[in-house]
Structure 1
Amino acid sequence: MFLEVSWTDPGTGCRGYLVIDRLVRGVASGGLRMRPGCTLAEVRGLAEGMTRKEALNYQPEDRYLPLGGAKGGIDFDPYDPLARDVLKRYLEAMRPLIERYWTMGEDLGVRQDVIDEVLAELGLGSSVEAIHPLLDDPAAAMERLAAAFRVRVAGLGLDELVGGLGVAEAALTGLDRLGLDRRESRAVVQGFGSMGGATARFLAEAGVRVVAIADRHGLVANPAGLDVEGLLAGRDRFGAIDRERLRPGDTTGPAEGWLTVPAEVLVPAAVSYCIDHHSEAVITAKLVVEAANLPVTAEAEARLAARGIPVIPDFVANSATNSWWWWTLFGDIGPAADEAFTKVRTRLRGLVDPLFVHSGQTGGTLREAAQQLCDANLAAIDARFGESQ
């Protein structure tokens, strides 16, 4: 652990945290979240996950070479009218670390456009300023990233799509490995923000029936399949579904019902620790894909494994958002959607396929296989750049 910072907001008294787990070439990467109940322990675990996520995507031939892992968190309700003011004070307090060590972006409860607006008000050029010394041409790299952020595909920004595309590709690879026909498979997605919404879109495009989506207001379900595009068109900026857009056959219910809807794929894409040893027992899905960070507790994952239900871990499944930023910034891909989609699909299938092979050979979990790959990559990174801090 390189650094832990705890902060108290002078305006509301709420707490905020920044954990830099590891530096590689002097820089760490990780998003900023805001949610009631966010703790230092949670942020610490997320920062460790970012270290794994970065290491997992180490490919020596790429221009993008992994950074260290970090995470920020604020214990505050993002729906509160004071949330933006709290965010601004937090970013001002963390300014020296943003300028020197921490490259950051959106996470649960915090949108990238709001981060960018607030940083501009504070006189900071971008949320990835710390990475500029590692770039051959920072101005050209930032323009390439800005151009990518301007790309829209069927009404949604490319930056909102790449993470969910990666999750969907991980899920589709898992279905293939389990011998399940994607066109006969059903999926349930918890969370309909940028990650959950994009995951639902790409699963539906691949022929998987998205039969239920849970948002902060409850559950929307239809065993024949939901109209994902129609629901995306009517969601609010936090991913809440407009119930006025529901079709005949769509039903609503309590949010906790998402775990018991019959489906082959379960995608927790909202909050951490939502599947624990109490709720695990009701799951009948054949595959769990972690789109959110830390949604399945270790005990629940062990019990799922004992029941023959594999879990594709978060630092694998949801790694595309992070990597897409750096692939674009360093110039491994251009700003076009087709380049991004090809890279994400190729990389995620290339990650998930070997995990299933390794798990089948050893009898271990997908997480254990992924951790072994991370450990090997971290050793290679240290050998190349010197031991990380």
Structure 2
Amino acid sequence: MSAPLISLSWTDHVTGRQGFLVVDRLVRGVSSGGLRMRAGCTLDEVTGLARGMTMKEALHYNPEGHYIPLGGAKGGIDCDPRDPEAYDVLVRYLRAMRPHIESFWTTGEDLGLTQDIVDRAAAEAGLLSSVQAVYPLLDNEKAARRRLTDAFAIEVDGIGLDELVGGCGVAESVLAALDRAGVGHRGTRVSLQGLGTMGGATARFLSRAGLSVVAVADVLGTIANEQGLDVDALLAARDTHGTVDRSALRPGDRQLPADAWLAADAEVLVPAAVSYAVNTGNQHRVTARWIVEAANMPVLPDAEVLLAARGVIVLPDVVVNSGTNAWWWWTLFGDIGADADEAFAYTRRSMRALIDQVLARAEAEGSTPRAAAHAIVADRLPVIAERYGWYR
């Protein structure tokens, strides 16, 4: 693995908190990757995420499409998003990173932040948009920006389309894996860590596909019900950070320790909250057949080796949670319009094709899905570089 193109550390002069920006590579002079905020965020973490973004972009390369993959990047701030000072730290970070955002880094919501907060802070920091670096690459900037604005204004059942497309992609990844294995949807049990933007949307789509969500974990602990949780009621009872109001629980719902989701009696585990959730010390508790990585880097490499030896299939984050990033660009570049049905259909079709390709290659080569995804990226990056260049 080569070193990233750019690696920056920033210290907030008011609070002393640190922030980071890593650009793994540029394609046509631009990179793409969200901005996360969490206590304990590190430069190494952001570096790994930036490399993952390069892979996500390459995996969605379609030479027939309008959307042309960008390079990979990531931003991170070591601060609890619930801290009263968090928003001001965010504004100062964006102000410090303004030259990079204006020139070559397109960013948006990630762990700990929502897009409306990023947009508000970006405006306060003097930025036109968090994705303005991509504007010069658009055929019709005005129409493209209007299309994206209209798409972000769409709500489905009171939830923003931008909050749903990522979960739609994760859910379709699960369904594609089940279909490939000949496992029926109805009654297949799912345990999720996290009921925020990604986890909540994933739970919504899976439950509507007939799967049974039997456990959900948030910062207060795990909520479990062997007969299946009322997903819609839990979604309605959560706050902006994905924490569920326990007064909304039904008599049959049990409250368990925070890590109980990992050992739930379920066929599918979906870590959709924090990185490094599954490690060598707890992987033995997993009884599920599939772990589907909705969060970034939730399964540590050494743990994945042990899981693979036990026959547990890990569908990697670079594939599974790539739908949100791709939806932004499909919409902005004009592959799809500002329409929820079109967005969901395009996301499902694209994610299913990608999962099928990854699993087929893994089976053919006797490798893990992650190794197969890496191999596909290794094939595509030289093609992208040859056609578009790394920097121009």
Partner residue of 2:172?
169
Q: List gaps (5 residues or longer) in structure 1.
A: none
1:52 aligns with 2:55: yes
Deviation (angstroms), 1:388: 4.9
| Equivalent residue in structure 2 for 1:111, among 104, 109, 114 | 114
Partner residue of 1:226?
229
Q: List gaps (5 residues or longer) in structure 2.
A: none
- Name the TM-score, length of structure 1 as normaliser: 0.99
**Cα contact 2:92–2:125 (8 A) shared by 1:** no
Partner residue of 2:238?
235
> 1:96-135 counterparts in 2 under 5 A?
96-135=99-138
| Equivalent residue in structure 2 for 1:138, among 138, 141, 151 | 141
1:368 aligns with 2:342: no
> 1:198-237 counterparts in 2 under 5 A?
198-237=201-240
Secondary structure in structure 1 of the residue aligned to 2:360: helix
Partner residue of 2:347?
344
Q: Distance in 1 between matches of 2:54 and 2:351?
A: 17
Q: Distance in 1 between matches of 2:95 and 2:379?
A: 37
**Cα contact 2:194–2:216 (8 A) shared by 1:** yes
Partner residue of 1:292?
295
Paired letter, 2:360: V
Secondary structure in structure 1 of the residue aligned to 2:296: coil
Deviation (angstroms), 1:370: 0.8
Q: Distance in 1 between matches of 2:196 and 2:59?
A: 25
| Equivalent residue in structure 2 for 1:61, among 64, 75, 78 | 64
Deviation (angstroms), 1:2: 1.1
Q: Distance in 2 between matches of 1:187 and 1:213?
A: 9
Secondary structure in structure 2 of the residue aligned to 1:182: coil
1:378 aligns with 2:381: yes
Q: Distance in 2 between matches of 1:87 and 1:118?
A: 7
Secondary structure in structure 1 of the residue aligned to 2:223: strand
Q: Distance in 2 between matches of 1:123 and 1:12?
A: 21
Cα offsets for 1:57-78 (capped at 9, x unmatched): 0000110000000000011111
**Cα contact 2:22–2:46 (8 A) shared by 1:** yes
Secondary structure in structure 1 of the residue aligned to 2:269: strand
**Cα contact 2:58–2:377 (8 A) shared by 1:** yes
Deviation (angstroms), 1:200: 0.3
Q: Distance in 2 between matches of 1:91 and 1:361?
A: 45
Q: Distance in 2 between matches of 1:184 and 1:51?
A: 36
**Cα contact 2:95–2:126 (8 A) shared by 1:** no
| Stretch of structure 1 that moved more, 355-364 or 45-54 | 355-364
| Stretch of structure 1 that moved more, 231-240 or 321-330 | 231-240
1:270 aligns with 2:273: yes
1:317 aligns with 2:307: no
| Stretch of structure 1 that moved more, 351-360 or 51-60 | 351-360
Deviation (angstroms), 1:178: 2.2
Q: Distance in 2 between matches of 1:388 and 1:382?
A: 9
Deviation (angstroms), 1:355: 1.7
**Cα contact 2:25–2:390 (8 A) shared by 1:** no
Secondary structure in structure 1 of the residue aligned to 2:192: strand
Partner residue of 2:32?
29
Deviation (angstroms), 1:255: 0.8
**Cα contact 2:269–2:292 (8 A) shared by 1:** yes
Give aligned pairs, total: 389
Q: Distance in 2 between matches of 1:250 and 1:355?
A: 37
Deviation (angstroms), 1:181: 1.4
Deviation (angstroms), 1:299: 0.6
> 1:176-187 counterparts in 2 under 5 A?
176-187=179-190
Runs of 4+ with deviation above 3 angstroms:
none
Q: Distance in 2 between matches of 1:44 and 1:36?
A: 17
| Equivalent residue in structure 2 for 1:43, among 46, 49, 71 | 46
**Cα contact 2:151–2:338 (8 A) shared by 1:** yes
| RMSD of aligned residue pairs (Cα, Å) | 0.9
Deviation (angstroms), 1:266: 0.2
Deviation (angstroms), 1:184: 2.6
Deviation (angstroms), 1:175: 1.3
